[in-house]
Amino acid sequence: MKVYFHEIKDQDLDYHFDESTPWVMDVIGSLDERMDRIQRPPNWKPRSRPTQVSFTLRRVDDLIHVSGKAKTNLYLLCSLCADAFQFPIQLQFHTLLTQTEMYAEAPRESSRKNNFEHDEGLQEWLSDEEDDDEGEEAPFNLNASDFEITVVKEPLADLKEILHEQIVLTLPMQPKPEADDKGDCSKCGRNQSSFHREAEQPLRENPFSVLKNLKKKTDA
């Protein structure tokens, strides 16, 4: 789904989706891991599952602020036993979009920060967000200099692309189901800590094996 910048005003524009929204489930399903995922069949459809996704878009001067929430499950392959399991996704995100090339050329830690500090509209918006979040557990502190800005070629916010990117950023390098108090996997029963220690242990060759072979040749 694409929302053009001219549709976004200085007041919140809200969107809410669930598992009945085809493009949302296309994103979720494309991130499911499968042993045979080299090529999906032509009639492939993502598995249905409870899903809630929301977006809030707002214009702040020449920037478009996109915030959102997503709650669903992905089918990932366990890094211990390679069996599929449901991995819960529950995230909140913020990102900024613009067509102004100034933000792309400015270094993140210096010029970009100065641009933010002189952007009165953005500073005012951040103050409003901090007031609105009182009493709620925020995913991170909102700070203008910490925002990543994406300079887009077309004046639009591609919600499908944003959702995909934000979910990918939360995925673990070695996915595995939850463990019990002993650290045993709730699916295959393997101890997660010891398994990874054994997997990471390099195979070391005996440095004296060469001498052993040399001795046999000498005796011969």
The two three-digit tokens of residue 28, written as one number:
């979720």
pLDDT for 139 equals 41
The two three-digit tokens of residue 194, written as one number:
């010891």
pLDDT for 189 equals 63
Strands (E), 7-152: 13-18, 52-60, 63-77, 84-98, 149-151
pLDDT for 196 equals 52
8 A C-beta contact, residue 147 and residue 116? yes
**180-189 LR contacts (CB < 8 Å, sep 24+):** 185/78, 185/80, 185/81, 187/78, 187/81, 187/83, 187/85, 188/78, 188/80, 188/81, 188/83
pLDDT for 83 equals 80
Alpha carbons 175 and 163: distance in angstroms, whole number:
20
Q: Provide CB contacts within 8 A for 153, sequence distance 6+.
A: 99
Give me the half-sphere count of Cα atoms (radius 13 Å) on the Cβ side of residue 86. 9
pLDDT for 174 equals 81
- Provide the 8-state DSSP code for 192: H
Q: Provide CB contacts within 8 A for 93, sequence distance 6+.
A: 67, 68, 69, 70, 139, 162, 166
pLDDT tens sequence for the chain (220 residues): 999 999 999 999 999 999 999 999 999 999 998 776 566 777 878 889 999 999 999 998 889 999 999 999 999 988 777 788 889 999 999 999 998 877 666 554 444 444 444 455 555 555 555 555 554 444 444 454 456 788 899 999 999 999 999 999 999 888 877 776 666 666 666 665 665 555 445 545 555 555 555 555 555 5
Strand-by-strand arrangement of the 149-151 sheet: 13-18, 52-60, 63-77, 84-98, 149-151
C-alpha torsion 70→77→194→191, nearest 10: 80
